[in-house]
Amino acid sequence: MIFTPVPIKGAFLIDIEPKEDDRGFFARLFCENEFRAAGINPVFKQCNMQHNAMKGTLRGLHLQFKPHAEEKLMQCTRGAVYDAIVDLRTHSLTYKQWFGVELNAENRRMIYIPKGVAHGYVTLTDNTETFYMVTEFYSPECEWGVRFNDPAFNIKWPDLGAFIISEKDRNWPMFGRSAAVVRPLKRKPI
């Protein structure tokens, strides 16, 4: 695997190294030793899959805060997504910065998302599937999010027209404009 740091501190793009022959290829998607050598927590507690029927489906921006802050390893296994992350760690040198990348079934690229970094994506094709592993169990009491179109981050999402988005994701508060957003970070820092 090839681990490439991205502009968000602690986040990586991970490319596989397929070994091909006339049957197809073999590639490693995870290796505890390689992840540990890259400085990535190799202990995952859940694997999740999402199917999105329609192009333009937006999910996010999500994260969990302490004591259940999670790291994610995300891959698109069918179709294509534009994946975006935002650093919400107040102590980070990349605080409030964002990074986006296309993940698709052809490039087989993964993105590793550290604790305290919000994550979301929009589908670029119909019938898209994503697979991701997380280092913590889902804890609704620690779930948090920020609005995908918050001007505090100014994420440049692909121009797909109107997004298909859940009420919950549509109604996350704007960052810094609501005490409800700031309070969890002060009470339970990431």
- Measured CA to CA, the distance from residue 117 to residue 140 in angstroms comes to 17
The domain that holds 86 is classified in CATH as 2.60.120.10
* Lowest-confidence segment of 42-46, 81-85, 111-115 by average pLDDT: 42-46
Higher pLDDT, 95 or 181: 95
Nearest CA to 164 among 56, 50, 84? 56
pLDDT-based confidence at residue 177 (cuts at 50, 70, 90):
low
- Measured CA to CA, the distance from residue 12 to residue 20 in angstroms comes to 25
Whether 112 is a known active-site residue: answer no
Q: Is residue 166 a part of any domain in this protein?
A: yes
pLDDT over 70 at 183, yes or no: no
Domain around 37: 2-16+28-187
Q: Is residue 23 a part of any domain in this protein?
A: no
pLDDT-based confidence at residue 154 (cuts at 50, 70, 90):
very high
Backbone angles phi, psi at 103, to 5 degrees: -110, 135
Buried-exposed string 117-149: b where 16+ CB fall within 10 A, e elsewhere: bbbbbbbbbeebbbbbbbbbeeeeebebbbbbe
Q: Is residue 21 a part of any domain in this protein?
A: no
Average pLDDT over residues 16-42: 89
- Sheet strand arrangement including 72-78: 2-5, 12-15, 110-113, 72-78, 128-134, 46-52
Among candidate residues 62, 68, 95, 112, the one labeled active-site is 62
Q: Is residue 22 a part of any domain in this protein?
A: no
Nearest CA to 44 among 63, 77, 70? 70
Question: Looking at residue 186, what is its pLDDT?
Answer: 41
Question: Looking at residue 157, what is its pLDDT?
Answer: 97
Counting the structural domains of the chain, the total is 1
Question: Looking at residue 98, what is its pLDDT?
Answer: 97
Among candidate residues 82, 112, 121, 132, the one labeled active-site is 132
Q: Give the chain's mean pLDDT.
A: 90
Q: What share of the chain is helix, strand, coil (3-state, %, to 5)?
A: 10, 40, 50
Whether 91 is a known active-site residue: answer no
Cis preceding linkage at 67, omega within 30:
yes
Average pLDDT over residues 85-91: 95
